[in-house]
Structure 1
Amino acid sequence: MKKGFWRKLTVYVLLIAMVVTGLATSGTFQKTQAETVSSVTVHYKGTYSAPNIYYWNLNGDNNKPVSWPGVQMKAESDNWFGYTFSNTQSVNLIFNQNGSQTADLHRTSGEWWYKNNQWYQYNPEITADSITVHFKSPWDGAKIYYWNLQPSGSTTTWPGGDMTPEGNRWYKYTFSESTQVNLIFNYNGKQTSDLTRTKGEWWYKDNQWYESNPETYVTPTPTVTPAPTKTPTVTPTITPAPEKGIDFRDETIYFVMVTRFYDGDSNNNVHCWDEVAAMKDSNDPAWRGDFKGLIEKLDYIKALGFSAIWITPVVKNMSGYDYHGYHAVNFSEIDPRYESDDATYQDLINAVHEKGLKIIQDIVLNHSGNFGEENLYPLFTKDETQEDTADTIIRIDEGKLPDNYDTLPPAQQYQARLYAMKEDTQDTENIYHHEKSLSWEGYTVQTGQIAGDCVDLNTENPAVSDYLINAYRSYINMGVDAFRIDTVKHISRLTFNKEFIPAFKAAGGEDFFVFGEVATRYRQVWNSNIPAISTPFYTWAETLAYPWSDTATNMNSTFQHWNDNQNVSDQPVSRNHLLTGNTYRTPDKSTSSGLGVIDFPMHWNFNNARDAFRVGVDGDQFYSDATWNVTYVDSHDYAPDGAPENQRFAGSQDTWAENLNLMYTFRGIPCIYYGSEIEFKKGAVIDAGPTKPLSETGRAYFGDNIEGSITVTDYAEYTNATGAMATALNHPLSLHIQRLNKIRRKIPALRKGQYSTEGVSGEMAFKRRYTDTKTGVDSFVLVSITDGAAFSGIPNGIYKDAISGDVKVVTDGKLTIPRVGKGNMRIYVLDLPGNPAPGKIGNNGAYLK
């Protein structure tokens, strides 16, 4: 009795120390953030002649500084109105006048213009192309030397002309009617390095470019706000935050289940509590792969040509079968079973960035495991000094569990935990939803418990959402480049739009990419014709205002939101994915929620590429912008409908190749699940739970297939591959993927282009274009997969095929492509000024030839 008492007392003391440490660390993070607070300036032009601006959630805090309708905006020239929020990094706002209002809007630090329901980073009424540069001179003056000024091509003579002084050692120069320039700032023999800028206004200080004056930043008195949780352990060296302007459509994604990928440190291998005897008696524990192993094999992933890695959740888990990471017991702590002394999570993030790759962290907001959450709802913690078994966990429930809990059979212990987490008398702060039923087609799909190990968090409770936001914000601060969100369908879109998406964008920047899993498992776009649980629904911003404050108000609003979105006919449509004829249109970003989605309708139809293509073309209008959809054939959960869905993709190899051709050339961001490049565990059951060894499932250990070494020089460019890794890289599908990655990287239209089937005759054929006047990019391409196609009404010019190198000269607006066979395709790129067609890319393989 005394031994148990002292052991528990020791644990409590350790917990208190950890919490105190976490508070101190959190305070440090808070102070750092406070020192970089800037301002948000917004300009409005529209139908309101004297607009007010109502605002709330300054800097992501749940505050309401003004009452409706807000404050009057300041009149500017040309019927523009402006307002500046000082000491502010982010804000939610509504422009309004006399009862009329815009949608809920959100902006981060910088200067922004709003017109025709669209945000701009420059005044959209300044139509003349120009480049304005401001230079903070470290010298007594400033000159500017320039060359290759576009479109004129003019060059000045050294040392160039005088810049206009602006005060405080700032100097200014404007290039009128210009879109791009190379330049050097200099004075009396001293100079900067060679620089380049495109259309817009730019500030250069201390060897760094800015999109707004960096000296408008202020340094308020740091406010250290204690957080209620521990923060992750961070090594001293942290990689820089993602730079502003990253477009994740430029990436392709390799999806890794960390524990099953590669074992770099056998000392952290752990068996799950519920592993079958066949696994416990083997050298293949469920917790086998780790961060160190992933770091060691980053070159393999880059050799395949991928530029981003999606990893399964890294937070601390607790359940009988938790190797996958989706049963959290502490969202603010990294699970130690992933880490080694020389390979922490921070080390992994740094290593990924050093390879020129990006890291996507899988996160869970919908639920915790059924052992509570160590900070948010403490029931249990682990005794880290003991072997990880069900018998060594420690109660910290403070009387929420029955006194005889330890002597109850496992089934009754489980019921006792659920009772503690889901009963009004126990969970008095409503940390969890207390709904006892679950209807997959009803509102309780967002409040009920979806699985035994997934207890539904009350994300409408500010205490819950704030805790989750603070926990995940710390990973953004560590350098994570994007989030994939699990089980999105089980949380109201309103909660995402009010809480999570604005907070993540505020922490990571407006371009921080967030996409989610809306697991509809339905061949049509609309899930049982219920918008509120359908994939495209989550991509839209709100158009109606809902009250949002305390838990009861928020839950009432999400219920009303559900009822307001029951009819497909009431849902908006978009043309952001479509060309206008052959011309790229400026997409309307104001309609977007900021949340991308995994394209489940396409995924569910990928038993063959034709069905997937058809559901995409027919359904893309229902997404805010389908060019941001993440596409895959199979995953750690499902294969396509009829493939069959519970097995790793079992289709023929040429079906795989054809599916990949569509994924890499049609709109969206391609994603491949680990091992698919060699048809790893083809036809194996994806997830059998603890009923059979993982080695017999689609989640088997992959490491044996990538033993060896390699020298990587660029994406899909390498030499000296050895061992099993060399064999894997020479698999026909692997070579197919490598070439597709090369092709996509060289043709911007395949990454970010809008598409059209207008004037196209062919079953899987389309044209795409992407134009960016700021960078001078203009890319136009014709794609025909397998069956051939006839294109009419296209621009005349020289077209070069990226697959065969064939050249066609079009003089009558028509081009015909013959059938090339399953797994093959043609990609004809138009030669355009400043954007030459690349010709043949890569070498012929089993399918692309």
Structure 2
Amino acid sequence: MTARFADGDSANNRGGSQHVKSGNAANDDPMFRGDFQGLIDKLDYIKGLGFSAIWITPVVLNRSDYDFHGYHGWDFYRVDPRLESPGASYQELINAAHGKGIKIFQDVVYNHSSRWGAKGLFTPTVYGVRDEQWKWMYSKQEPGRSYDPMVEHAGNDPELTPAQNALAKGRPYNGDVWSTAVPAGNQCLRWGTPNGRSPEGYTLYDCQWPSPTNKLFPADLYHQCWIGNWEGEDSRSCWLHEDLADFNTENPRVQQYLIDVYNKYIDMGVDGFRVDTAVHIPRVTWNRRFLPAIQAHAVAKHGAKGKDFYVFGEVAAFVNDKWNRGSVNHSAQFFTWKERKEYSPDDVRAAIEQYDYEQLLGTGNQPTSDNAFLRGNSYHTPDHSKFSGMNVIDMRMHMNFGDASNAFHNGKDSDDSYNDATYNVVYVDSHDYGPNKSNTRYTGGTDAWAENMSLMWTFRGIPTLYYGSEIEFQKGARIDCGPTCPLATTGRAYYGGHLEGSVTATDFGVVGSASGPVATTLSKPLVKHVQRLNQIRRAVPALQKGQYSTEGVTGNMAFKRRYTAGGVDSFALVTVSSGATFTGVPNGRYTDVVTGDVKTVSNGTLTASVSGAGNLRAYVLDLPGNPAPGKVGATGPYLR
């Protein structure tokens, strides 16, 4: 979460109208605190941990009053100036990260906009524009920067009515100063009728706040209903929340608006998109419109490199089972597949047809794949011909990550239903939830964290860490309580205090020098653990990209992995936290990357002994032209 990670420029800090009421003011902790300058300053910390990519929260300008997390976009073409500063624009962050070999994955939203509407598509005229509420965004204008006209050019905004401009220009805000002009063509009934009080103490009025049913939004551009069933068709075509105005993503004008918006960020050089609320857009719309557009533009802009543009979606299936309450249309793996029949050329009709067709077929008639699995001990070229272009967050493993063993045994049996589970993004907790939809940051203990990490870094998928977990930051704290309590008491507390000082990375997972509080942070046991895990993963291609199998393997969390392509042939036998026996494996010389122990197999059987939560063994086979790397990294608190 960029706004909570590291504060490189205090001049762009902003607390919002909830600054005092939330308790943040008492902690001198504005919600917009971290910024791109802070990220640039601490890229060596991230690289020193061993990470080669950063997934950052959305960057577009939002007007929501408490949106430091960035999901309420209003001007999608502009980067939020509370994140930028001179010399640290978004483009400069991208360039700086690339200069260190680090990728940037941008969190993007196709499903909705926020307060109010989306600039350049449609912004409704509401009853009363509270310009004074937005003066907190900037204290003064700075040369060379663009500003929100609703804030800085009050009284001269061509998008507002003359009455609204007059109001903004000539009268101070006292909590109940409103425009009374009824806009031409207004469809909202009871214009300006008082309708209660807000939690902040403002008088509320009809037609002041857009909703799907009050006719402030046109039906061709925005949906006109609330979600009633989160596993129903309406979850793909109705509003999630009163401040998340749901795009009609089946409308060609909306589609082109979103395609053009996000092409801009592809042009800037971001390396991929994490797609927010992907489940709330029909798969057929993704497959027809948005995913092909992303792929085509990435290749057109960046050539062959553009083929690697990585897209992974949030399909929030908060269940421990393989399918989301029996609904394939709401299950994560469903979104990794192309459509398997033709639907109406009309996107609205096609969305309904696709939903009905797949629901009728049900969970027992979905496509399957062995792209994640070895065939015996052999790697095979994966068949991605039916891949949609969208990978996904592994929600099932996330939900089951109360402990590593549970995640392993209750996660991998879904792998035949993804197009290719080796591309799943795997994490224990996030900025939203802990395992099993816990609303607190993970509190399983240091040993459990080490074990979780050891599994994620060696098993299939892409290991991902919510920053701070490397020191168990805010463990047990409520992840989010909005403006009703200070951020400092939550899982979204400011992290930068642990990063003060200087740090220089000499390689991924290798710190050359560090001083100040960040040196103390880097000395923590889980930091040492994740550094070595990243070193090991980088040294063994099978652990990065390999297919896996548990055939012939005994042990609680044990598996074999192989990757063979482009002159690389890497084969590894892995067991986490406890010993295992591998039978039917190739004969030859194996070396453990953790201890350097060498075993020569002549009868197809290797037995690995290991104990201690988070400890592991990964025996790598010497192959022609692909020797085992030997011991990788230094013995640490868990890998020993």
TM over 0.5: yes
- Cross-structure match for 1:595: 390
Equivalents in 2 of 1:397, 1:482: separation in Å?
36
Matches within 5 A, 1:91-490: 257-275=1-19, 276-379=21-124, 386-388=135-137, 396=159, 399=183, 400=186, 405=192, 411=198, 413=204, 416-417=207-208, 419=210, 422-423=212-213, 426-428=216-218, 430-490=220-280
| Distance 1:814-1:437 versus aligned 2 partners, 3 A rule | closer
Asked if the contact 1:371/1:417 (under 8 Å) is kept, the reply is: no
Structure 1 residue runs of 5 or longer lacking an equivalent are 1-256
- Cross-structure match for 1:147: none
Match of 1:727 among 520, 541, 550: 520
User: Secondary structure of the residue that 1:343 maps to in structure 2?
Assistant: coil
Equivalents in 2 of 1:414, 1:487: separation in Å?
30
User: Secondary structure of the residue that 1:780 maps to in structure 2?
Assistant: strand
Asked if the contact 1:658/1:824 (under 8 Å) is kept, the reply is: yes
| Distance 1:688-1:584 versus aligned 2 partners, 3 A rule | same
Equivalents in 1 of 2:190, 2:507: separation in Å?
61
| Distance 1:367-1:677 versus aligned 2 partners, 3 A rule | same
User: Secondary structure of the residue that 1:789 maps to in structure 2?
Assistant: strand
| Distance 1:527-1:277 versus aligned 2 partners, 3 A rule | closer
User: Secondary structure of the residue that 2:564 maps to in structure 1?
Assistant: strand
Asked if the contact 1:438/1:450 (under 8 Å) is kept, the reply is: no
User: Secondary structure of the residue that 2:614 maps to in structure 1?
Assistant: coil
1:635-681 deviation digits (Å, cap 9, x = unpaired): 0000001xx71111010111111110110000000100011111100
Structure 2 residue runs of 5 or longer lacking an equivalent are 139-147, 162-182, 300-306
- Cross-structure match for 1:164: none
User: Secondary structure of the residue that 1:537 maps to in structure 2?
Assistant: helix
Equivalents in 1 of 2:462, 2:417: separation in Å?
18
Equivalents in 2 of 1:351, 1:743: separation in Å?
25
Equivalents in 1 of 2:13, 2:602: separation in Å?
65
1:220-277 deviation digits (Å, cap 9, x = unpaired): xxxxxxxxxxxxxxxxxxxxxxxxxxxxxxxxxxxxx000001111111101223435
User: Secondary structure of the residue that 1:839 maps to in structure 2?
Assistant: coil
Residue 410 of structure 1: how far off its partner (Å)? 5.8
- Cross-structure match for 1:737: 530
| Distance 1:363-1:385 versus aligned 2 partners, 3 A rule | closer
- Name which structure has the greater RCO, CA cutoff 8 Å, separation 6+: 2
Match of 2:286 among 496, 510, 514: 496
Equivalents in 2 of 1:288, 1:346: separation in Å?
19
User: Secondary structure of the residue that 2:535 maps to in structure 1?
Assistant: helix
Equivalents in 1 of 2:517, 2:385: separation in Å?
49
| Distance 1:581-1:517 versus aligned 2 partners, 3 A rule | same
1:38-71 deviation digits (Å, cap 9, x = unpaired): xxxxxxxxxxxxxxxxxxxxxxxxxxxxxxxxxx
Equivalents in 1 of 2:12, 2:226: separation in Å?
38
- Cross-structure match for 1:520: 317
Equivalents in 1 of 2:633, 2:233: separation in Å?
51
Equivalents in 2 of 1:761, 1:344: separation in Å?
52
1:735-787 deviation digits (Å, cap 9, x = unpaired): 00000000000100001000001111111110000001xx3100000001112
Query: Are 2:351 and 1:558 equivalent residues in the alignment?
Result: yes
- Cross-structure match for 2:366: 571
Equivalents in 1 of 2:343, 2:590: separation in Å?
52
Asked if the contact 1:272/1:322 (under 8 Å) is kept, the reply is: no
User: Which stretch of the first structure deviates more once superposed, 670-679 or 441-450?
Assistant: 441-450
Asked if the contact 1:378/1:397 (under 8 Å) is kept, the reply is: no
1:694-730 deviation digits (Å, cap 9, x = unpaired): 0000000000000011222111122221111111111
Matches within 5 A, 1:1-150: none
Asked if the contact 2:212/2:225 (under 8 Å) is kept, the reply is: yes
Match of 1:842 among 629, 633, 638: 633
Q: Percent identity?
A: 50
Equivalents in 2 of 1:707, 1:405: separation in Å?
50
Match of 1:807 among 584, 590, 598: 598
Pairwise CA RMSD: 2.2
- Cross-structure match for 1:620: 415
User: Secondary structure of the residue that 2:137 maps to in structure 1?
Assistant: coil
Residue 404 of structure 1: how far off its partner (Å)? 6.4
- Cross-structure match for 2:176: none
Asked if the contact 2:61/2:78 (under 8 Å) is kept, the reply is: yes
Equivalents in 2 of 1:405, 1:704: separation in Å?
47
1:625 maps to amino acid: D
Equivalents in 1 of 2:334, 2:238: separation in Å?
20
Query: Are 2:327 and 1:530 equivalent residues in the alignment?
Result: yes
| Distance 1:672-1:600 versus aligned 2 partners, 3 A rule | same
Residue 823 of structure 1: how far off its partner (Å)? 1.2
Residue 332 of structure 1: how far off its partner (Å)? 1.1
Query: How many residue pairs get matched?
Result: 584
Larger radius of gyration: 1
Query: Are 2:375 and 1:584 equivalent residues in the alignment?
Result: no
Asked if the contact 2:505/2:512 (under 8 Å) is kept, the reply is: yes
Residue 282 of structure 1: how far off its partner (Å)? 3.7
Asked if the contact 2:226/2:238 (under 8 Å) is kept, the reply is: yes
More strand by share: 1
TM-score by length of 2: 0.88
- Cross-structure match for 1:90: none
Match of 1:647 among 440, 447, 470: 440
Asked if the contact 1:279/1:285 (under 8 Å) is kept, the reply is: yes
User: Secondary structure of the residue that 1:529 maps to in structure 2?
Assistant: coil
Equivalents in 2 of 1:695, 1:751: separation in Å?
36
Asked if the contact 2:193/2:206 (under 8 Å) is kept, the reply is: no
| Distance 1:437-1:765 versus aligned 2 partners, 3 A rule | closer
